[in-house]
C-alpha cells in the first residue's frame, strides 16, 4: 500500500459492507467531506487494510458530469495521501471501511482545498480510530 495506486480491491463495492458501514459506522465532518468509517474483521483473502468509497450528492449536483468530475478529484486527493493511513492500520492490525462524501456546494472548489481537506480528514480518521477501536486517547 506504499505505492500511489487505487486498485479494485481497495474500493468498497460490496452492497452488504456498504449497508453495514452506513448503518453501524461513526462519522465526522471536515469540510468539504463527511467521513463515515467502520472497523470490521478482515476477510481472509483481503490484503488491503482499508476499503473506501467516494460519493457526491445527486441532489446537489444534478449532472453526472459534475459528480464524476468531483469524484475524480477527490479520488486523486485520497490516492496521493492514503499511505499514512494504510501504515497506521497495518501497525494496529485493523481493517477499515471508509466513505468520503463530498458535502461542498461548489463544483469548482480549488484542488488545494480538496487536498488539505483530505489530509485533515485522514488525520482525524486515525485519531478517531485510535479512540474508538484501540481505546486510547492521543
**pLDDT tens sequence across 75-87:** 999 999 999 999 9
Q: What is the pLDDT of residue 27?
A: 96
Share the mean pLDDT of the chain.
92
Domain locations in the chain? 8-133
CATH placement of domain 8-133 = 3.30.230.10
* 21-25, 55-59, 87-91, 101-105, range with the lowest pLDDT: 87-91
Q: What is the pTM of this model?
A: 0.92
Q: What is the pLDDT of residue 3?
A: 76
Residue 133: which pLDDT band, with cuts at 50, 70 and 90? confident
Q: What percent of the chain has pLDDT over 70?
A: 96
For 51, phi and psi rounded to 5 degrees?
-120, 135
**Positive/negative CA dihedral, 110, 33, 75, 84:** positive
Per-residue CA distances from 21 to 25, 62, 65, 111, 125 (Å): 5, 25, 27, 27, 15
Q: What is the pLDDT of residue 42?
A: 78
Q: What is the pLDDT of residue 110?
A: 95
Residue 137: which pLDDT band, with cuts at 50, 70 and 90? low
Amino acid at each position: 500500500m506504499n505505492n500511489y495506486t487505487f486498485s479494485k480491491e481497495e474500493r468498497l463495492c460490496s452492497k452488504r459492507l456498504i449497508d453495514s458501514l452506513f448503518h453501524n459506522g461513526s462519522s465526522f465532518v471536515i469540510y468539504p467531506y463527511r467521513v463515515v468509517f467502520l472497523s470490521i474483521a478482515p476477510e481472509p483473502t483481503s490484503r488491503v487494510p482499508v476499503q473506501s468509497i467516494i460519493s457526491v450528492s445527486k441532489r446537489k449536483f444534478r449532472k453526472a458530469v459534475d459528480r464524476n468530475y468531483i469524484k475524480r478529484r477527490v479520488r486523486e486527493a485520497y490516492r496521493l495521501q492514503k499511505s499514512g493511513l494504510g501504515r497506521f492500520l497495518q501497525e494496529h492490525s485493523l481493517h477499515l471501511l471508509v466513505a468520503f462524501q463530498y458535502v461542498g456546494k461548489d463544483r469548482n472548489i480549488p484542488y488545494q482545498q480538496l487536498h488539505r481537506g483530505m489530509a485533515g480528514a485522514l488525520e482525524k480518521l486515525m485519531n478517531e480510530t485510535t479512540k474508538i477501536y484501540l481505546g486510547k486517547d492521543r
